[in-house]
């Protein structure tokens, strides 16, 4: 019996070794452990593909060098920081390309279709759900060379830009000319216009200015088989199904957006900074709901639960053991004064205690000073944020449900929340968690358990599993639950546009986190 | 550790509530934090901040000159720190020839330090890369393009193939030897020697202001700045000692230089080596400002029409290292009828000319493209004359102008403008 068992184990060992060797044959950077290593595309004649890519983009716009491949092996998924410290890489591309024209992108896509090679569009790599990770290898199309601002139209209040432009550089350019897009996500410094559109982003000032789908008026998109499509810039139209909207939130799976026209606004004349501390989370929700019901739209509203109030506003005496809410109203003076008065009055009617401008100033000072990502991996903790949507009538229930169920997970250190986005009809919650994987689990397995627990609680309450970070790898498991039978139709649309499934595979439509196990 | 405890004191109550096992593991991880990820043995790399930087979401990426010019992820600041960490811990073996690209990346930075403005930890990436360079030097892995600079320093005492200071006669530059009793020592940078008109202008301005000064070009040597950039500390130390001796022999209480790189080296960098020069060391524009304040320098003539509109390019070493964006503007604002234009990125937020740091040796093409980007930003002001106060900027920016536009656009040192109105 013992011999049989040894022989069996030996066979299994050999199989594993052969599989591992096969993976290594196709892999550079062998010193790094690869996380997503299953089903990598097999490129038979890499040299030949490289030559053909050179023919398309020119020899200076393609690389197969180790130093470049490693640079594109991750996005900003927070577990990726743990892997970075541990010498692991999420995915490994085979080619990096930096096209300069739409035609070059089109030709790369045509080549990829012929050779069945995955293509992964890459902007600034700031996504946090794995959207830009080359999970099966393939060709990275880095959009950074599409970074021109093409036109500001003052009369129409629009700016047209290529989508590889960095968000902060677009905003700085506009600010210098007296405008803003009003789209100010926390990732402003590190994200691109294309990334905002692809992941259906929302900024911190979006209660006033709208989300990216409200801001985009026109686009140019290259479809997976290489067709270049130019959608008109329109303020609004009734011209049949709005095909262009399909690409907002497609996460690079249905097309590559190369150019977009956005709404802009005159830079606000004035700002009012308001903050209130509430005795309960429910009071704070009620106050903000009533503000929006009166059609008052502060650019920024943020509710911090008691734990996050302690974390961020411990120095504010009136906020001790309370729930802090910060508001920013901005625009022309007379309107801001009115919004400020109604906001303050409504807060006071709902047991709010005015805390002045200082907490808002503190928020302005610290909102881009991200240090947690640098600390957490060194403590061997797994840290992340999960943002979700819920209508007002279930908002408080959902909050408590997520916190209660997630706290039961073995190894969890904390889960807290703030409410970051507001509508007259509902809100966007932003949960933050940290924990240490118990012995029997890998970091990824623990991470998946928390993600899946939070999302299950959200779905059970009737909320949506994502508010503005997108689906990527992290949420694809939940697509059938979120969309129900219509998910099949979404997949059919993907199949129609991308029959060879070459454009950013492994995201949205496929579940790489089967049963919560590390794949 | 205490910083972390202060910033993250909110974790205290959370730790209190943890179950015993989790608390034990968390506290162990906290105690072992450094040991877990720090390499063993001797190294000079600033591991703590390399890790902080590589695990940051790249918050400074939008303002990193080499990234915004190369437009590749490979050049992103956090990635450079990541490679620095991997080279230090040996995950990427620096001794393997195939890993030369990774070593080269440690030198692809312009020292402009825009990153420091946006850094949540308030350091500059180059300050981290320099520590990695020291370890590479200790392993005898200094790239050839850096070795060449060190050789030049040791062979000619300057950063040129020949001792550029000895060319002053053929360039028509007056040399003023010290009598050991100078008021001021005009410390001319080696790069400045490529711009004799600037030096001549500075000498004339100082004379007109009645300053007793010397230049000592017969014995003048480089400040050693390039060795500091490369972190070849033996050479750096040698130059620090020699310069201290030469400067002290002048008897001058004030040292002025036309090169902000020299100012940085003579002051901060020497001090860090333990070589303190007990003099006031300032940039020449700061000295000119003082002369105007004291009534020793005034502008009498009208600015010629062709120089009436100018755009300022702040040298990053004056703006961010000396933290002085005022002196240049103070001087220019006193020139009657001068119209001053500002580019979008100016003062503390100025973009680099491309010619600082080690990048122009490691990747000359990238440096030229960065210069071109900056020239385009200056051109956006609609003005054809760009005024600066740094020989490296004036050198770098010149590379950024296309051959067919050399006639149209003019890069001038501030002294060349002043001399026209004295």
What pLDDT, on the 0 to 100 scale, is given for residue B324? 98
Distances in Å between the Cα of B372 and the Cα atoms of B65, B111, B353, B356, B379 are: 12, 17, 8, 14, 10
What pLDDT, on the 0 to 100 scale, is given for residue B36? 87
One domain for residues B213 and B97: no
Query: Distance (Å, rounded) from C-alpha A255 to C-alpha A236?
Result: 22
- Report the CATH number that the domain containing residue B313 is assigned in CATH: 3.40.50
How many Å lie between the alpha carbon of B404 and the closest alpha carbon of chain A?
24
H or E element: which one contains A219?
strand A216-222
Query: Distance (Å, rounded) from C-alpha B359 to C-alpha B396?
Result: 12
Q: Kindly report, residue by residue over A29-54, the tens digit of the pLDDT.
A: 889 999 999 999 999 999 999 999 99
Sequence-ordered list of residues with C-beta below 8 angstroms from that of B335, at least 6 positions apart, any chain: B299, B303, B417, B418, B421
The strand pairing partners of A141, in sequence order, are A97, A121
pLDDT at A517 over 60: no
**Average pLDDT along chain A:** 94
Per-residue pLDDT, averaged over A471-495, amounts to 97
**End-to-end CA gap in chain A:** 32
pLDDT at B315 over 60: yes
Q: Does B56 contact A at CB distance below 8 Å?
A: yes
Q: In this structure, is residue B400 part of a structural domain?
A: yes
One domain for residues B347 and B399: yes
Q: Does B38 contact A at CB distance below 8 Å?
A: no
| Nearest CB partner across the interface for B120, out of A68, A314, A371 | A371
Per-residue pLDDT, averaged over A182-203, amounts to 98
Q: Does B127 contact A at CB distance below 8 Å?
A: no
Q: In this structure, is residue B22 part of a structural domain?
A: no
Measured N-to-C along each axis, helices B125-138 and B47-54 cross at an angle, to the nearest 10 degrees, of 130
pLDDT band at B11 (very low <50, low <70, confident <90, very high): confident
- Residue A23 or A148, more confident: A148
Q: Kindly report, residue by residue over B105-163, the tens digit of the pLDDT.
A: 999 999 999 999 999 999 999 999 999 999 999 999 999 999 999 999 999 999 999 99
One domain for residues B119 and B230: no
pLDDT at A519 over 50: no
| Nearest CB partner across the interface for B73, out of A71, A379, A380 | A71
Chain B's closest residue to A375, CA to CA, is: B52
- Cβ separation B118–A368 shorter than 8 A: yes
Q: Which of A64, A75, A84 to mutate to test the interface with B (most CBs of B within 10 A)?
A: A84
Q: Does B52 contact A at CB distance below 8 Å?
A: yes
pLDDT at A475 over 50: yes
- For the domain bounded by A35-267, which CATH number is listed? 3.30.465.10
| Nearest CB partner across the interface for B121, out of A76, A81, A371 | A371
- Cβ separation B30–A379 shorter than 8 A: yes
- Report the CATH number that the domain containing residue B52 is assigned in CATH: 1.10.1060
Report the candidate in B189, B201, B196 with the shortest Cα–Cα distance to residue B226: B189
pLDDT at A2 over 90: no
Cβ within 8 Å of A, B 77-96: 79, 82-83, 86, 91-93
Among B293, B327, B343, give the residue marking a domain's end: B293
Q: In this structure, is residue B146 part of a structural domain?
A: no
Q: In this structure, is residue B38 part of a structural domain?
A: yes
Among B248, B271, B293, give the residue marking a domain's end: B293
Q: Kindly report, residue by residue over B51-103, the tens digit of the pLDDT.
A: 999 999 999 999 999 999 999 999 999 999 999 999 999 999 999 999 999 99
pLDDT at A127 over 90: yes
Q: Kindly report, residue by residue over B172-209, the tens digit of the pLDDT.
A: 999 999 999 999 999 999 999 999 999 999 999 999 99
What pLDDT, on the 0 to 100 scale, is given for residue A518? 42
Burial of B320-353, coded b for 16+ CB within 10 Å and e otherwise, reads bbbebbebbbbbbebbeebebbebebbbebbbbb
- Cβ separation A81–B55 shorter than 8 A: yes
Structural domain harbouring B41? 32-141
pLDDT band at B361 (very low <50, low <70, confident <90, very high): very high
What pLDDT, on the 0 to 100 scale, is given for residue B33? 87
Q: Does B61 contact A at CB distance below 8 Å?
A: yes
Chain A's closest residue to B23, CA to CA, is: A413
Among B267, B293, B319, give the residue marking a domain's end: B293
- Report the CATH number that the domain containing residue B274 is assigned in CATH: 3.40.50.11810
Q: Domain locations in chain A? A: 1-30, 35-267, 270-366
| Nearest CB partner across the interface for B10, out of A314, A370, A381 | A314
Please state the pTM of the whole predicted model: 0.94
One domain for residues B349 and B269: no
pLDDT at A1 over 90: no
One domain for residues B207 and B258: yes
What pLDDT, on the 0 to 100 scale, is given for residue A382? 97
One domain for residues B184 and B265: yes
Architecture field, domain A270-366:
2-Layer Sandwich (3.30)
Query: Distance (Å, rounded) from C-alpha A42 to C-alpha B331?
Result: 65
Per-residue pLDDT, averaged over A246-261, amounts to 98
Q: Kindly report, residue by residue over A56-112, the tens digit of the pLDDT.
A: 999 999 999 999 999 999 999 999 999 999 999 999 999 999 999 999 999 999 999
Query: Distance (Å, rounded) from C-alpha B378 to C-alpha B386?
Result: 7
| Nearest CB partner across the interface for A373, out of B36, B56, B79 | B56
Instruction: For A332-425, list the strands marked E by DSSP.
Output: 353-354, 382-391, 412-422
Q: Which of A368, A413, A418, A441 to mutate to test the interface with B (most CBs of B within 10 A)?
A: A413
One domain for residues B345 and B288: no
- Cβ separation A370–B59 shorter than 8 A: yes
Q: Name the burial class of residue A21, with classes exposed (0-12), middle (13-18) and buried (19+) by CB atoms within 10 angstroms of its CB.
A: exposed
Give A373's contacts in chain B (Cβ within 8 Å).
55-57
Report the candidate in B367, B360, B410, B366 with the shortest Cα–Cα distance to residue B388: B410
| Nearest CB partner across the interface for A380, out of B4, B29, B57 | B29
The strand pairing partners of A228, in sequence order, are A222
The strand pairing partners of B257, in sequence order, are B187, B283
pLDDT at A25 over 50: no
Q: What percent of chain A has pLDDT over 90?
A: 92
Q: How many domains is chain B built from?
A: 3
CB pairs under 8 A between A and B: 135
| Nearest CB partner across the interface for B55, out of A65, A66, A85 | A85
């Amino acid at each position: 019996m013992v011999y049989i068992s040894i022989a069996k184990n030996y066979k299994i060992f050999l199989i594993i070794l052969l599989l591992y060797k096969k993976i290594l044959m196709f892999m550079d950077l062998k010193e790094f452990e690869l996380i997503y290593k299953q089903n990598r595309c097999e490129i038979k004649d890499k040299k030949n593909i490289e030559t053909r890519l050179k023919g398309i983009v020119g020899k200076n716009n393609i690389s197969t060098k180790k130093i470049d491949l490693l640079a594109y092996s991750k996005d900003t998924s927070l577990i990726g920081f743990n892997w970075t410290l541990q010498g692991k890489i999420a995915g490994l591309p085979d080619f990096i390309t930096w096209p300069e024209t739409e035609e070059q992108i089109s030709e790369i896509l045509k080549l990829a279709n012929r050779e069945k090679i995955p293509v992964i569009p890459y902007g600034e790599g700031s996504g946090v759900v794995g959207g830009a990770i080359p999970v099966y290898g393939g060709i990275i199309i880095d959009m950074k060379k599409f970074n021109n601002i093409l036109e500001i139209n003052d009369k129409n209040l629009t700016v047209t830009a290529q989508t590889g432009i960095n968000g902060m550089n677009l905003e700085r350019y506009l600010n210098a000319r007296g405008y803003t897009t009003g789209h100010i996500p926390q990732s402003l410094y590190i994200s691109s216009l294309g990334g905002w559109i692809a992941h259906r982003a929302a900024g911190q000032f979006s209660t006033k200015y709208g989300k990216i789908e409200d801001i985009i008026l026109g686009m140019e998109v290259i479809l997976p088989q290489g067709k270049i499509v130019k959608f008109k810039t329109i303020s609004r139209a009734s011209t049949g199904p709005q095909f262009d909207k399909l690409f907002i939130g497609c996460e690079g799976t249905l097309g590559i957006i190369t150019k977009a026209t956005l709404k802009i606004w005159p830079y606000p004349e004035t700002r009012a900074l308001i903050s209130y501390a509430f005795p309960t989370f429910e009071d704070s929700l009620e106050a903000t709901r009533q503000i929006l019901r009166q059609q008052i739209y502060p650019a920024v509203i943020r509710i911090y639960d008691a734990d996050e109030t302690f974390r961020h506003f411990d120095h504010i005496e009136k906020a001790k053991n309370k729930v802090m809410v910060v508001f920013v109203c901005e625009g022309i003076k007379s309107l801001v004064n009115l919004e400020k008065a109604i906001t303050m009055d409504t807060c006071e009617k709902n047991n709010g205690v005015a805390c002045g401008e200082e907490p808002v100033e503190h928020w302005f000072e610290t909102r881009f000073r991200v240090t947690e990502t640098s600390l957490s991996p060194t403590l061997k903790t797994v840290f992340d944020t999960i943002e979700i949507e819920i209508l007002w009538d279930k908002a408080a229930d959902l909050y408590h449900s997520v916190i209660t169920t997630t706290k039961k997970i073995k190894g969890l250190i904390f889960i807290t929340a703030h409410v970051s986005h507001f509508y007259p009809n509902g809100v966007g919650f932003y949960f933050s968690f940290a924990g240490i994987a118990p012995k029997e689990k890998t970091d990824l397995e623990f991470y998946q358990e928390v993600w899946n627990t939070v999302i299950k609680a959200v779905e059970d309450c009737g909320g949506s599993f994502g508010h503005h970070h997108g689906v990527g790898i992290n949420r694809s498991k939940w697509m059938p639950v979120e969309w129900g039978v219509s998910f099949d139709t979404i997949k059919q649309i993907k199949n129609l546009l991308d029959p060879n499934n070459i454009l950013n595979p492994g995201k949205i439509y496929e579940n790489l986190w089967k049963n919560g196990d590390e794949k | 550790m205490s910083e972390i405890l202060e910033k993250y004191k909110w974790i205290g109550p959370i730790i209190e509530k943890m179950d015993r096992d989790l608390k034990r593991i968390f506290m162990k991880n906290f105690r072992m934090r450094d040991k877990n990820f720090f390499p063993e043995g001797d190294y000079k790399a600033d591991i703590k901040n390399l890790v902080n930087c590589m695990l940051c979401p790249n918050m400074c990426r939008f303002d990193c000159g080499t990234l915004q010019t190369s437009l590749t992820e490979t050049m992103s600041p956090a990635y450079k720190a990541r490679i620095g960490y991997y080279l230090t811990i040996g995950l990427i073996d620096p001794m393997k020839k195939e890993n030369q690209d990774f070593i080269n990346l440690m030198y692809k930075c312009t020292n402009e330090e825009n990153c420091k403005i946006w850094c949540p930890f308030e350091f500059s990436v180059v300050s981290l890369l320099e520590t990695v360079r020291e370890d590479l030097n200790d392993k005898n892995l200094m790239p050839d393009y850096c070795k060449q600079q060190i050789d030049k320093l040791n062979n000619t005492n300057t950063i040129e193939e020949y001792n550029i200071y000895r060319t002053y006669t053929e360039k028509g530059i007056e040399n003023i030897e010290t009598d050991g009793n100078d008021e001021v020592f005009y410390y001319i940078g080696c790069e400045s020697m490529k711009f004799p008109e600037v030096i001549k202008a500075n000498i004339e301005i100082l004379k007109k202001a009645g300053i007793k000064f010397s230049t000592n070009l017969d014995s003048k040597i480089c400040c050693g700045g390039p060795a500091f950039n490369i972190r070849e500390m033996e050479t750096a130390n040698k130059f620090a000692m020699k310069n201290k001796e030469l400067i002290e022999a002048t008897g001058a209480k004030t040292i002025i230089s036309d090169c902000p790189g020299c100012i940085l080296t003579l002051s901060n960098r020497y001090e860090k080596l333990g070589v303190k020069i007990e003099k006031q060391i300032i940039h020449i524009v700061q000295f000119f400002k003082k002369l105007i304040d004291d009534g020793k320098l005034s502008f009498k003539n009208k600015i010629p029409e062709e120089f009436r509109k100018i755009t300022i390019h702040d040298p990053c070493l004056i703006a961010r290292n000396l933290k002085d964006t005022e002196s240049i503007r103070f001087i220019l604002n006193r020139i009657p009828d001068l119209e001053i234009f500002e580019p979008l990125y100016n003062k503390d937020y100025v973009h680099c000319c491309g010619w600082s740091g080690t990048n122009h040796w490691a990747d000359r093409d990238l440096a030229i493209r960065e210069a071109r980007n900056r020239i385009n930003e200056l051109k956006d002001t609609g003005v054809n004359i760009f005024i600066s106060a740094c020989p490296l900027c004036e050198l770098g920016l010149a590379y950024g102008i296309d051959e067919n536009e050399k006639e149209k656009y003019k890069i001038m040192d501030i002294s060349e403008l002043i001399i026209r109105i004295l």
